Amino acid sequence: MSIITVENLSKIYPVAVKEPGLAGTLLHFFKRTYRAVPAVQSVSFQIEAGEVVGFLGPNGAGKTTTLKMLTGLIHPSTGQVKVAGHVPFRREAAFLRKITLVMGQKQQLLWDLPALDSLRINAAVYDISDSEFRQRVGELSDMLTLSDKLNQPVRKLSLGERMKAELLAALIHRPSVLFLDEPTLGLDVNAQVSVREFLRQYNQLYGATVLLTSHYMADITALCKRVLVIYAGQLIYDGSLDGLLERFAPCREITVELAEDQPTADLQIFGEVKEAAGRMVRFIVPQEDLTQTIARLLAKLEIVDLTVTDPPIEEVIGQVFRSGTALNTSEFGGATH
């Protein structure tokens, strides 16, 4: 059953156009002209209850605008949206109890107060009883390993601890749909891992649906089997993460450790040299040439070690963004809904 349904969703912003000079300023003041700037264009997808879906795209692609329409913060220009059976922009109380939006660069906790005080305010907003509040705070703070930090002023918490406290505040009403916009932004590696593990546990424990945007590919690979890719406001891929990698990574990466240094120019005959650092060399070769290339390397060079891997996912996703071409997901396993 689809908990999120999006059909031909678009958002177009009117942007005032001003001519240079005094005459342009006067005309702009008395009679403005506008041009239409599309932020999101005819986006359609469905997400089933309990799915964790990655939402990928370069800066300015339309990810945050889409999330804001799904949470009712802005009204779509055209199209239809249903989230948990509600039309988001109506902002009904029943709808707001079912969703949450976490933005990594925004905070809701009061800076000079202990996090627990802000949590009590949130509990009052959602009419959560004292006993239920204590139970939920205890449960979530244990999952976040934050129990001993809740009585400290927020300003004294580390960045990772603040992000955990923000998640706790956003989930105190136990929403069934989570919209997460860069929840690990700026966190160190350990804090990122901790937040990912918490989100995985929350999804498994409560069956929550998660739509996650992140520039950290480790977030996506750790949590999401399905991804949506948006580029210049248009949805260019909706399908499995594996299908995306297969489509845009038809090459393999060969990393070799040589017995002695070799000029990079001499190594180009074996394939594209992606990186050469001393005796460590990284080649990118087409999948169909893999066996032949390995045989040539072993025959022509003295090799200490050799490994074959897929290219890093960051490179694959970067290639998707650079191409900006709509993909036929039916060719590659289709969407996972």
In-domain check, residue 99: yes
The per-residue pLDDT for 322 is 67
The per-residue pLDDT for 253 is 87
What are the structure tokens assigned to 175, written together?
């929403």
In-domain check, residue 334: no
Q: Residue 89: which residues within 8 A CB-CB, separation 6 or more?
A: 69, 72, 74, 75, 76, 81
Pair 121, 183 in one domain: yes
Domain count, the chain: 2
Last residue of a domain, one of 194, 229, 245: 245
The per-residue pLDDT for 330 is 40
Confidence of residue 104 (pLDDT cuts 50, 70, 90): confident
Q: For 16-48, write each residue's pLDDT tens digit.
A: 888 888 888 888 888 888 899 999 999 999 999
Q: How far apart are CA 303 and CA 259, in angstroms?
A: 6
Confidence of residue 334 (pLDDT cuts 50, 70, 90): very low
Pair 176, 54 in one domain: yes
Last residue of a domain, one of 195, 212, 245: 245
Q: For 126-176, write each residue's pLDDT tens digit.
A: 999 999 999 999 999 999 999 999 999 999 999 899 999 999 999 999 999
The per-residue pLDDT for 333 is 38
In-domain check, residue 135: yes
* CATH at residue 197: 3.40.50.300
Are the beta carbons of 202 and 143 closer than 8 angstroms? yes
What are the structure tokens assigned to 252, written together?
């393999």
30-34, 76-80, 137-141, 193-197, range with the lowest pLDDT: 30-34
Q: For 44-70, write each residue's pLDDT tens digit.
A: 999 999 999 999 988 889 999 999 999
Pair 149, 263 in one domain: no
Pair 305, 169 in one domain: no
The per-residue pLDDT for 251 is 78
In-domain check, residue 302: yes
Pair 37, 162 in one domain: yes
In-domain check, residue 181: yes
Q: Mean pLDDT, to the nearest integer, of 75-90? A: 96
- Please determine, for residue 336, whether its predicted confidence score (pLDDT) is greater than 60: no
Q: In what order do the strands lie in the sheet with 33-48?
A: 33-48, 2-17, 78-83
Are the beta carbons of 180 and 211 closer than 8 angstroms? yes
Higher pLDDT, 299 or 286: 299
Q: Can you name the residues that pair with 4 across neighbouring β-strands? A: 47, 83
Q: How far apart are CA 19 and CA 26, in angstroms?
A: 10
- Please determine, for residue 124, whether its predicted confidence score (pLDDT) is greater than 60: yes
Last residue of a domain, one of 245, 262, 279: 245
Pair 35, 81 in one domain: yes
Pair 272, 207 in one domain: no
Going 67 to 69 to 73 to 77, the CA torsion angle's sign is positive
Q: How far apart are CA 73 and CA 173, in angstroms?
A: 19
Pair 188, 292 in one domain: no
* CATH at residue 303: 3.30.70
Give me the amino acid identity at 171.
L
Q: Mean pLDDT, to the nearest integer, of 82-100? A: 96
Confidence of residue 208 (pLDDT cuts 50, 70, 90): very high
Most confident stretch, 28-37, 103-112, 130-139, 246-255: 130-139
In-domain check, residue 321: no
The per-residue pLDDT for 22 is 86
Pair 108, 137 in one domain: yes
In-domain check, residue 182: yes
In-domain check, residue 12: yes
The boundaries of the domain holding residue 117 are 2-245
Q: Which residue has the tokens 């059909």?
A: 7
Confidence of residue 328 (pLDDT cuts 50, 70, 90): very low
Q: For 308-326, write each residue's pLDDT tens digit.
A: 987 777 777 776 776 665 5
Pair 12, 112 in one domain: yes
Mean pLDDT of the chain: 89
How many CA atoms lie within 13 Å of 240's alpha carbon, on the beta-carbon side? 10
Confidence of residue 335 (pLDDT cuts 50, 70, 90): very low
Pair 266, 212 in one domain: no
Pair 203, 138 in one domain: yes
